[in-house]
Structure 1
């Protein structure tokens, strides 16, 4: 428990009472030291880390923070400098990295940021420049790489993003381009490879994805294609190899995979096939060799393995089988060589090996 001790009580002129109040960590180390006047904080309030290092210096008047406020990291480096007026932030505010380097610089008016707000990298290079009016972002916010190259430009009006926003590669090439109306994405969203080739294109209406989402390989070949309605993917989803061959095909309902999903080798042969319900694997799941032979069969119940998992050699011979209960191996697990001879037999209980037998070589 922290101890609270009134160390000094002095009757001042006109009956005012001044007190120094201290609290302690359970270890006995000093935690806070407050100056009080007539029962309210008045003057300096100091807080300490348990190590004894100064944590903060706050100035009070009539029970409210008034004057300069300082906070420190335990290593002694300054963390915050803030000016307060009758309990409200007013004037300069600076924050720092634990190294002592400046992190942010701003001015406040009636508790709200006003004018230019700056963020810095540890090196001292500017990371962000943002204009504020009445506590809201207003104007063009600029983002920078540590090298000084422009990283992005985003326009704000009364705290909301408006117009065209752009993000750039450090080399100067356009990386992404967005359109905003009253703080919501509205219109075309485009992303580019550093080479300038189109990477993705997506349309938004009132902040929600609407219409086709297309992504491309840098060569220009189509990589994915899916439709969106009211912000959720809907209908057929296709992913392609750069050659144009289908890699994945599945159906999406309200943003979740539903029904049978298939994955293919680039040759066109089936590689995986599984059933989904409400976005999770549910039912039979099969994996194949490129020759078409079955490689693995297993079943899921709401995304959890249930029942026998069987693996096969490409010849069709059984390679192994393990039973699963609620996603954990449970019961006998067997492994065979390609001649059908049992070479390993293990017993599991709730996912933990409880015993094993290995055929001698």
Structure 2
């Protein structure tokens, strides 16, 4: 008994020692193709725990991290290849917290930022290499808010921007390096809106622009002595690579005449004619290959007459007739080989009368009667050989009455009766005309 107690005590001691022993730290490394270490870090339980480093392909230190349970903790530092500090961040439980600093490659301070719970908060400061302030950017909850400024190295204000929850709002100003106003522009919801003024260095007006929803609609030019020169209402806009993006003309703030847009490739995208700000006459859209995509005719902002759509090869695929913006008359769709795919008739925007669909060889595929855009009457489907495949009767869009389908050889396949989309009875036949199934449903009350 005494021996048994000794053994049990010994086992308990071993168990306590096992539980209290720390988990072994594993060092893991990855390598560049040239054999140089790329990453080196400490892992516990298959998670980053402890120091973690990343290296340039020449072996020089690039980044230093510290992790707890796979989350960044404490100081995190990046380095330039010459060994000077690039940036220094601080983390708490995987989130940026406190002051972060960025540096020039030569060691001078470039920027200071403050984080609260992983979001920028307060004033972000940027500096010239000389130590003079370059910019002050005000953040609230991760978004620019209020007045932000940039400065010339001589200390004078260069730009003043006003933000509301990350969007430019109100008056924004640009200054000459000697302190006088160079540009004043008004923003609404991050877009230029209203009057913008550009000044000569002596303070006289050079240009007055008028914007609506980010689009310039008028420009007034003045000479160096302040005398009015001319008003411009035709403008060109360009992509960053210099390719023209649009040509827009206005008259008293409203689009007028031919206006064009272009693809980044330089091919024209659209040609729209305007009269007092509304589409008028013929408007053409193009594919980026240069072929016509659609031709639409407008009268008083509404599609009128024949509108046509084309595929990229230039083949007509649709022709629709409009009256005051509403489909009215025949609409035809085409196969790529120019054969008719379908013909539908519209009256005041609704399908009326007979509509037809066709196979590519021109044979009838289906035909149907419509009233007020609802199937009303008989709809018939056909096999490619011309034999009837099926016909069904409809009343105000619902299947009502007899519905008969056929095998391609002409024998009846099924006969069914419906009452407002509810199946009443059905008989199925084999290809020799023998009954193979009979089904009767009880009409719902």
TM-score scaled by structure 1? 0.60
1:178 equivalent in structure 2:
185
Q: CA deviation at 1:235?
A: 3.6
Pair 1:126–1:209, CA change in 2 (3 A): same
Instruction: State the 4+ residue runs in structure 1 displaced beyond 6 angstroms.
Output: none
RMSD: 3.0
1:30 equivalent in structure 2:
37
1:124 equivalent in structure 2:
131
**Is the contact between residue 226 and residue 234 of structure 1 (CA under 8 Å) also seen in structure 2?**
no
Q: Whole-Å Cα distance in 2 between the matches of residues 156 and 65 of structure 1?
A: 32
Q: CA deviation at 1:253?
A: 2.5
Say if 2:203 is the partner of 1:196: yes
204, 220, 223: which one aligns with 1:214: 220
Pair 1:43–1:80, CA change in 2 (3 A): same
**Is the contact between residue 209 and residue 228 of structure 1 (CA under 8 Å) also seen in structure 2?**
no
2:104 equivalent in structure 1:
97
**Is the contact between residue 104 and residue 129 of structure 2 (CA under 8 Å) also seen in structure 1?**
yes
SS of residue paired to 1:155: strand
Pair 1:13–1:33, CA change in 2 (3 A): farther
Q: Whole-Å Cα distance in 1 between the matches of residues 84 and 132 of structure 2?
A: 20
**Is the contact between residue 28 and residue 43 of structure 2 (CA under 8 Å) also seen in structure 1?**
yes
241, 257, 260: which one aligns with 1:254: 260
146, 153, 157: which one aligns with 1:150: 157
**Is the contact between residue 86 and residue 105 of structure 2 (CA under 8 Å) also seen in structure 1?**
yes
1:54 equivalent in structure 2:
61
Q: Whole-Å Cα distance in 2 between the matches of residues 219 and 36 of structure 1?
A: 73
Q: Where does structure 2 lack aligned partners over 5 or more consecutive residues?
A: 1-17, 238-245, 252-256, 270-289, 291-445
SS of residue paired to 2:131: coil
**Is the contact between residue 226 and residue 233 of structure 1 (CA under 8 Å) also seen in structure 2?**
no
Q: Whole-Å Cα distance in 1 between the matches of residues 140 and 190 of structure 2?
A: 16
2:233 equivalent in structure 1:
227
1:110 equivalent in structure 2:
117
Query: Deviation per CA, 1:178-234, whole angstroms, max 9, x where unpaired?
Result: 112232221101111212222221111222222x223344244666643169x9653
For residues 246-325 of structure 1, what are the structure 2 equivalents within 5 Å? 253-254=259-260, 278=268
1:316 equivalent in structure 2:
none
66, 75, 88: which one aligns with 1:81: 88
2:399 equivalent in structure 1:
none
Q: CA deviation at 1:154?
A: 1.4
Q: Whole-Å Cα distance in 2 between the matches of residues 166 and 12 of structure 1?
A: 67
Q: Whole-Å Cα distance in 2 between the matches of residues 221 and 255 of structure 1?
A: 34
Q: Whole-Å Cα distance in 2 between the matches of residues 277 and 90 of structure 1?
A: 50
SS of residue paired to 1:22: strand
Q: CA deviation at 1:91?
A: 1.2
Q: Whole-Å Cα distance in 1 between the matches of residues 119 and 57 of structure 2?
A: 33
**Is the contact between residue 260 and residue 268 of structure 2 (CA under 8 Å) also seen in structure 1?**
no
Pair 1:252–1:38, CA change in 2 (3 A): same
**Is the contact between residue 89 and residue 111 of structure 1 (CA under 8 Å) also seen in structure 2?**
yes
182, 191, 194: which one aligns with 1:187: 194
Query: Deviation per CA, 1:65-116, whole angstroms, max 9, x where unpaired?
Result: 1111000000011001000112111111111111111111011011110011
Q: Where does structure 1 lack aligned partners over 5 or more consecutive residues?
A: 1-10, 238-250, 257-275, 280-301, 303-361
Q: Which has the larger radius of gyration?
A: 2
Q: Whole-Å Cα distance in 1 between the matches of residues 84 and 267 of structure 2?
A: 55
1:346 equivalent in structure 2:
none
RCO higher in structure (CA 8 A, sep ≥6): 1
Q: CA deviation at 1:13?
A: 4.3
Q: Whole-Å Cα distance in 2 between the matches of residues 215 and 13 of structure 1?
A: 82
Query: Deviation per CA, 1:287-318, whole angstroms, max 9, x where unpaired?
Result: xxxxxxxxxxxxxxx9xxxxxxxxxxxxxxxx
**Is the contact between residue 49 and residue 55 of structure 1 (CA under 8 Å) also seen in structure 2?**
yes
**Is the contact between residue 58 and residue 68 of structure 1 (CA under 8 Å) also seen in structure 2?**
yes
2:51 equivalent in structure 1:
44
User: More strand per residue: 1 or 2?
Assistant: 1
Q: Whole-Å Cα distance in 2 between the matches of residues 71 and 223 of structure 1?
A: 56
Q: CA deviation at 1:51?
A: 2.1
**Is the contact between residue 216 and residue 224 of structure 1 (CA under 8 Å) also seen in structure 2?**
yes
Q: Whole-Å Cα distance in 1 between the matches of residues 78 and 229 of structure 2?
A: 52
Q: Whole-Å Cα distance in 2 between the matches of residues 164 and 112 of structure 1?
A: 27
Pair 1:278–1:46, CA change in 2 (3 A): closer
